[in-house]
Amino acid sequence: MSTFGYLERKIAFLLNSLPLIKKIIKTVYVRLNYLIFKSKTYYVIDTNLTVKTLFTNGFFGYYTSTPYNTKNDYICHGLRSDSDPVKNTEIDIILNGLTISKTTSWNYQQGAMLQWLDDTSVIHNIFENGQFKSKIINIVTNEETLINYPIYAVHKNCALSLNFSRLAKYRNEYGYNNIPFKTMTFDDTHDGIFLIDLTKNTSKLIVSIEDLKNNQSDARMDQSVHKVNHIQFLPDGNSFIFFHRWFNKNGVKYTRLYYSSIETAELKILADCTMISHCNYIDNNTIIGWMSINGINGYYTINIQTGKTKKVEILNEDGHPSITHNGRYIVTDTYPDRSGMQSVVVFDIQLNQIIKKASFFSPIQYRGSTRCDLHPRWDADDKGFTFDSVHNGVRELCSLRFTDE
């Protein structure tokens, strides 16, 4: 068996209360297994699947948006020989293989939050004159518009954002390192989630950290530091989900999954578990995410209106789920197993079974903050998806298409 077993996962779960010890043990154990079980195969795919590389020495980023617009243009981040997010060195912003911009505000997990606004405009974060900002580029006219605030999630002419220095301090691999943050202190009353009007170039705080601390506060929050992350618009563009995470004095992490509305600023806790990982929407009223409910880890769906949860059987490993536009299929990924292979699987919700699978090799140097998660994202036609991979020894943006559709 190349996958990690129940006992190993149970031990990992029990070590959550000792995060530093867990990190050390995990690093040693993973490297030892890699030496013993290292795969000799770079990738394995099911029949009726074709894989190709779109861009070499680059990546797109997270799984909640797509590199493609509806006209089949693609965007991604292009790495240079000295690119390093910790050292604030530049990376390129790529359109159809050509550089159209650059930035020093980025990380390997989510890049510079590069996203399409529509078929002719893209947006990404930058650092200019000592401040985080964002830039809109019209790919037809090459016109650039500077926004005085960084963005996280976008929907048409609106964006949601957060404090990327706070994020860097409490989860460095998702924040930006342009401003020294280690000795920073933060004002919880005036920090949190911000609504950005991209037309008016304005920003206002709509959910504060203090609001979250005071919402059903409990003893777990004593002597803790707090942050928000993983903000995502729902399809209607009026509501969104996000994580409120806090760490106690021993570094133990707690997470709440929230639903909120731009218009009403409602704060509704959807999940408050010992572990909540990656989420996505199926529709405006249904969320799917990897979490632990009553001590059982798995993918669960959550009805936003009723709060009812339901476990999704078959899918039994944490990953990054993306759902087709008709809500029938889920594509998600796994982390590298003992042999270094990580997989993408396509799950048919109606049939309750996995219908496609592909696995890709991840060399040992791509672990921790430099890891390359596959982050699969459905194409606009739902007949394939893009993903980031290092199976050829460098970061690449790849495409996997169904040939039997």
Q: For residue 14, is pLDDT > 90?
A: no
State the Cα–Cα distance between residues 206 and 102, nearest whole angstrom: 30
What does the pLDDT look like over 318-358, one tens digit per residue?
A: 999 999 999 999 999 999 999 999 999 999 999 999 999 99
Q: What is the pLDDT of residue 5?
A: 67
* Residue 404's pLDDT band (cuts 50, 70, 90): low
State the Cα–Cα distance between residues 300 and 291, nearest whole angstrom: 7
Q: What is the mean pLDDT of residues 62-85?
A: 96
DSSP 307-376: --EEEESS--S----EE-TTS-EEEEE----TTSEEEEEEEETTTTEEEEEEEEE--TTS-GGG------
Q: What is the pLDDT of residue 148?
A: 98
What does the pLDDT look like over 297-320, one tens digit per residue?
A: 999 999 999 999 999 999 999 999
- Residue 129's Cα: distance from chain center in Å? 28
Q: Which two tokens stand for residue 103?
A: 């930035």
For 389, other C-beta atoms within 10 Å of its C-beta total 28
Q: For residue 3, is pLDDT > 80?
A: no
Q: For residue 405, is pLDDT > 60?
A: no
Q: What is the pLDDT of residue 27?
A: 80
Q: For residue 7, is pLDDT > 90?
A: no
Helices of type H across 128-231 = 164-170, 209-214
Q: What is the mean pLDDT of residues 81-100?
A: 96
Q: What is the mean pLDDT of residues 18-27?
A: 79
Q: What is the pLDDT of residue 1?
A: 40
The fraction of the chain above a pLDDT of 70, given in percent, is: 97
The dihedral formed by the CA atoms of 136, 139, 143 and 146, expressed in degrees to the nearest 10? 10
What does the pLDDT look like over 388-400, one tens digit per residue?
A: 999 999 999 999 9
Backbone angles phi, psi at 48, to 5 degrees: 65, 20
What does the pLDDT look like over 24-44, one tens digit per residue?
A: 887 888 788 888 888 888 999
Structural domain spans, the chain: 26-63+320-405, 149-319
Average pLDDT of the residues of the chain: 94
What does the pLDDT look like over 234-292, one tens digit per residue?
A: 999 999 999 999 999 999 999 999 999 998 889 999 999 878 999 999 999 999 999 99
What residues does 317 pair with on adjacent strands?
none
Q: What is the pLDDT of residue 354?
A: 95
Q: For residue 6, is pLDDT > 70?
A: no
The fraction of the chain above a pLDDT of 90, given in percent, is: 84
